[in-house]
Amino acid sequence: MSLVKKYSYMVLISLSALLGVFKITLFAKLLGPEQYGLYALVLSVYVFLIYFGGLGLNEAFIKLGSRAFGQSDIVGIYELHILAAIYGGAATLVLGCLFSVTVIFLIDDPSVSLVLALASLLAITALEFNLLDALLRVTHRFVLYSIMVFSKSLIVIFIGWNVALEYGAYGVVVSEVFGFMIVSIVTYYLVETSVSINTILKNYELLFHAIKNGLPMMLSNVIRNLMLSADKWLLGSSLGMSAVGQYSFAMILYTMSIFLLGFITTVLGPKWLASYSNGHDAKKLLRSILSYSYAWFVLLFLLAIPAYILLPMGIDFFFVEYRNKDVILTMSIIYIGVMFLIPCCFLDWFFMAISFEKKVLNITISMMVLSLFLLGICWYLGLSIVAYAVVFSANRIYVFLRYLKVISSLKRQNFESVSS
């Protein structure tokens, strides 16, 4: 990457991160706790439609596409992209339609059912956006990627700002749909290349190979998001939509960390995979990933006290509707969870590179069992949002410790069990 491209990417991606944080805080303020809670529920639902509809092809595309790039197989990358876009898009469309019809029939309140039904349209547009996002990352076109992400955030904020007060959660969900749709169409025509679609569609061997490679990591992501959504659903049934809004607001710290991780691993993740595909040096890859993990853990640790002081001040000044002790305490506990979450997300790339996705899946399943048990207690006892935050952070610490155990076992075996 040339110096001009490098700085262009850094500026645009930094602006995109700021816009992402600004968007969620803006919508939290404009919508209020109840409507923001409904908006958060839609976002929690559409993620599952993407994962199940995508058939694991998005995860497979990042893994196999990065390997193909490391071997200079550009045609193979585009074939994988088209395969994922067509089959994943078709499956998401069918699943989304079934979900929308079910929601409309089961929920009596039309103001709620209509907004939730939009999750299917959001999932379809987001899936194609994510695949284009992955294509640019895999092929290391980071400047175009940053322009794509920046433009999407800008469109959503512009539309959402103008419709949030009048249309509430419905308006901001529609703004998300338009953001994904407009940017995806423009980006597609910029990166389109000539491949034989008929040949790709008949290549069932490639399809099954991709699903096999992407399914374990997809299931792991599904379970993780299920746990993130289960707390909101249980909160809504126990304490009402306003509590969901407060908890979702407190989770802004988590959302910010996901934005940050996405931008960091946009460059590092595909490079790690491409590099490993050439030399298969697991020790070198692990050292590189652990160095980033330790650095970010220490940075978050040092920022903990300033954050604890400044966050209440920011809420008092900008978000009066969310000002109470439970929200402040919940944010503090979630911050602890984020400190352990970030190293785990870096290590996901290590396990993906060495084809240990099933290990990740097994750890994630055990985390799900623990989480459901603890969340069930919170729901049964009618505990506040603080208890749900404790469960969130406990799960992240648990996964982090299990990851360290796997790495320790690999070191004792001198990485002999690592798949090449």
Asked if pLDDT for residue 15 goes beyond 60, the answer is: yes
Structure tokens at 152: 């999407």
- Cα–Cα distance, 73 to 71 (Å, whole number): 6
Task: Report residue 195's pLDDT band, with 50, 70 and 90 as the boundaries.
Answer: low
Asked if pLDDT for residue 182 goes beyond 80, the answer is: yes
- How far apart are the two ends of the chain, measured CA to CA in Å? 28
User: Tell me: the pLDDT tens digits for 256-272?
Assistant: 777 677 667 766 777 77
The pTM of this model reads 0.65
User: Tell me: the pLDDT tens digits for 123-158?
Assistant: 888 888 888 888 887 887 877 888 888 888 899 999
Q: Please classify residue 72 by burial: count the beta carbons closer than 10 Å to its beta carbon, then call 0-12 exposed, 13-18 middle and 19+ buried.
A: exposed
User: Tell me: the pLDDT tens digits for 358-377?
Assistant: 888 888 888 888 888 888 88
Higher pLDDT residue, 155 or 41?
A: 155
pLDDT of residue 416: 67
Higher pLDDT residue, 235 or 188?
A: 188
Q: How many other CB atoms are there within 10 angstroms of residue 252's CB atom?
A: 18
User: Tell me: the pLDDT tens digits for 95-118?
Assistant: 888 888 888 887 777 777 777 888
% of the chain with per-residue pLDDT over 70 = 89
pLDDT of residue 137: 79
User: Tell me: the pLDDT tens digits for 317-368?
Assistant: 667 676 777 888 888 888 888 888 888 888 888 888 887 878 888 888 888 8
DSSP string of 284-345? HHHHHHHHHHHHHHHHHHHHHHHHHHHHHHHHHHH-GGG-SHHHHHHHHHHHHHHHHHHHHH
Identify the three-state secondary structure at position 62: helix
In this prediction, residues 374-391 reach a mean pLDDT of 86
pLDDT of residue 398: 92
Asked if pLDDT for residue 276 goes beyond 80, the answer is: no
Secondary-structure breakdown of the chain: helix, strand, coil percentages, each rounded to the nearest 5: 90, 0, 10
- Cα–Cα distance, 191 to 138 (Å, whole number): 13
Task: Report residue 420's pLDDT band, with 50, 70 and 90 as the boundaries.
Answer: very low
User: Tell me: the pLDDT tens digits for 48-79?
Assistant: 788 888 777 787 887 788 777 777 777 778 88
